[in-house]
């Protein structure tokens, strides 16, 4: 792992710089306090967990969702920057700045969560009642679970560090874990998070019990644990706080935090999400680096496939662009981490894999109906699984799903022509290989 991650302490200052911190804090701690003295009371505990969310915001604001989109058949490269061209062509060097930013950004989020888990339990402040302390710890477990899950699906088994790191000495001797071991850590953290997190309220930009269950359902899907995936997805779907909103564009147009979102990351004018800039043309103030592929545009504009999801795109001819991130003047679009539509499609796939075809089709059709698309005519298990894959591709066209779905189902070769399985994982950054002798590179790089 990169030296700059762990040479120094957990940085409260970076956490407090955003406006999101101001919503929850009445006092501002000193800048760059050592970890052992930074989390000492209610205010610094609250600052620390907001800071951990800020780290997640950092890697979900551009780098990680780019990895899940430009690498697929839905999105093409439309610019001059080599780091995007490398991803578009699935020819990624070990110093590709986007993969490096994502990998290192995820570890920053994990280290922030580790600091919370290490030091908040010892806080003895009457203003930090046990319910709030448990909530903060539950959120930290969730954030660490999300981080290791995102690392695992992008890079395979990784080094598992579950204590805050203040220098590289604590990493000596920590080898990369297997994929199963990494996923086991994710599961353990999600189970802890579920126990500690509060029942779901109206807030959708901080983890609650359903967020832990939803991410666990996704984890079980990745591990082909069909019954468990179905069970967790059912628990979230059964929560009346979440529903498929209609029309489709409702979930990504202000006001945000619609009933569609199980969890989304909130940004503000002082804490911006500038991901829109990669999608919009120069005439609208963007760079137009990421562009919907012609094949995707055809699907979205086909009423039998896209239905009302054609509202994901705007423009015409050679100037079609994605508008999922649409508040271009303020850059306040959320990052959509988990939507209830995903839980329906998780359950549909899990049920289809268990040969419960009627129930699987019902879940698939719920998502299709919301987009004003006719029910599926898939009648066999194979046909239904293909229909679910196709639905995921369109439903989450510009979210970080398609690449990881094709890798987990081992369909990246058939769909993308990427037959060398070594390149189904991203490379560990060269700088991390150089700075830590316990980090080994993925095969093929």
What is the predicted pLDDT for the residue at 369?
A: 98
What is the predicted pLDDT for the residue at 172?
A: 60
CA–CA distance, 266 with 6 (Å, rounded to integer): 27
What is the predicted pLDDT for the residue at 173?
A: 73
CA–CA distance, 269 with 306 (Å, rounded to integer): 32
What is the predicted pLDDT for the residue at 167?
A: 56
**Quick one: average pLDDT of 198-208?**
95
Q: Report the DSSP pairing between strands 75-77 and 290-292.
A: antiparallel
Q: How far is CA 327 from CA 217, 256, 267, 286, 291, in A?
A: 31, 11, 11, 12, 18
Quote the DSSP letter at residue 321. E
Q: Which of 83, 98, 68, 149 is nearest to 397 (CA)?
A: 68
Alpha helices by DSSP H, listed for 170-208, are 179-196
CA–CA distance, 131 with 278 (Å, rounded to integer): 41
Q: How far is CA 7 from CA 167, 257, 303, in A?
A: 4, 37, 54
The per-residue pLDDT for range 12-32, each reduced to its tens digit, is 334 333 333 433 333 333 333
**Quick one: average pLDDT of 252-269?**
93
Identify whether the C-beta of residue 143 lies closer than 8 Å to the C-beta of residue 52.
yes
Domains of the chain listed by start with CATH number: 1-198+417-445 (1.25.40.390), 225-409 (1.25.40.390)
Identify whether the C-beta of residue 426 lies closer than 8 Å to the C-beta of residue 155.
yes
User: Whole-number mean pLDDT of the chain?
Assistant: 91
The per-residue pLDDT for range 84-130, each reduced to its tens digit, is 999 999 999 999 999 999 999 999 999 999 999 999 999 999 999 99
Taking the alpha carbons of 218, 219, 220, 221 in that order, is the dihedral positive or negative? positive
Q: Which of 153-157, 165-169, 348-352, 414-418 has the lowest mean pLDDT?
A: 165-169
CA–CA distance, 53 with 119 (Å, rounded to integer): 17
**Quick one: average pLDDT of 55-83?**
96
Q: Convert 226-292 into a string of H (helix), E (strand) and C (coil).
A: HHHHHHHHHHHHCCCCCCCCCCHHHHHCCCCCCCCEEEEECCECCECCCHHHHCCCHHHCCCCCEEE
Q: Which of 171-180, 192-201, 231-240 has the lowest mean pLDDT?
A: 171-180
- Other CB atoms within 10 A of residue 420 CB: 11
Q: Which of 205-219, 243-257, 295-309, 337-351 has the lowest mean pLDDT?
A: 243-257
């Amino acid at each position: 792992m990169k030296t700059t991650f762990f040479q120094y302490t957990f940085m409260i200052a970076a956490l407090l710089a955003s406006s999101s911190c101001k919503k929850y804090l009445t006092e501002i701690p000193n800048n760059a306090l050592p970890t052992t003295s930074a989390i000492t009371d209610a205010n610094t505990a609250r600052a620390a967990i907001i800071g951990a969310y800020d780290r997640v915001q950092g890697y979900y604001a551009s780098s990680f969702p780019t990895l899940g989109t430009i690498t697929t058949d839905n999105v093409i490269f439309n610019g001059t920057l080599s780091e995007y061209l490398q991803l578009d062509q699935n020819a990624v060097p070990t110093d590709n700045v986007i993969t490096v930013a994502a990998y290192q950004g995820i570890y920053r989020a994990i280290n922030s969560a580790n600091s919370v888990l290490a030091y908040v339990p010892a806080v003895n402040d009457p203003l930090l009642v046990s319910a709030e302390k448990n909530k903060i710890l539950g959120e930290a477990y969730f954030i660490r679970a999300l981080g290791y899950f995102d690392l695992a699906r992008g890079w395979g088994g990784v080094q598992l560090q579950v204590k805050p790191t203040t220098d590289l000495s604590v990493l000596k001797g920590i080898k990369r874990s297997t994929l199963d071991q990494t996923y086991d850590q994710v599961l353990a953290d999600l189970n802890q998070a579920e126990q500690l997190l509060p029942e779901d309220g109206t807030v959708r930009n901080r983890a609650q019990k359903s967020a832990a269950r939803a991410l666990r359902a996704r984890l079980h899907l990745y591990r082909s644990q069909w019954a468990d995936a179905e069970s967790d997805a059912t628990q979230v779907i059964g929560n009346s706080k979440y529903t498929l909103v209609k029309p489709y564009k409702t979930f990504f147009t202000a006001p945000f935090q619609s009933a569609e979102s199980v969890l989304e990351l909130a940004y503000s004018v002082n804490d911006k999400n500038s991901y829109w800039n990669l999608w919009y043309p120069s005439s609208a103030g963007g760079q137009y680096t990421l562009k919907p592929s012609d094949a995707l545009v055809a699907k979205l504009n086909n009423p039998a496939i896209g239905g009302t999801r054609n509202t994901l795109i705007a423009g015409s001819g050679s100037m079609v662009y994605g508008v999922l991130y649409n508040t271009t003047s303020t850059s306040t679009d959320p990052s959509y981490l988990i939507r209830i539509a995903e839980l329906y499609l998780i359950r549909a796939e899990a049920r289809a894999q268990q040969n419960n075809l009627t129930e699987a089709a019902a879940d698939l059709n719920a998502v299709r109906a919301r987009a004003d698309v006719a029910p599926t005519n898939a009648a066999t298990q194979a046909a239904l699984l293909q229909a679910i894959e196709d639905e995921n591709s369109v439903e989450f066209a510009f979210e970080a799903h398609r690449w990881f779905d094709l890798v987990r189902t081992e369909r990246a070769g058939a769909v993308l022509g990427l037959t060398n399985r070594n390149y189904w994982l991203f490379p560990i950054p060269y700088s991390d290989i150089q700075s830590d002798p316990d980090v080994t590179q993925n095969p093929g790089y």
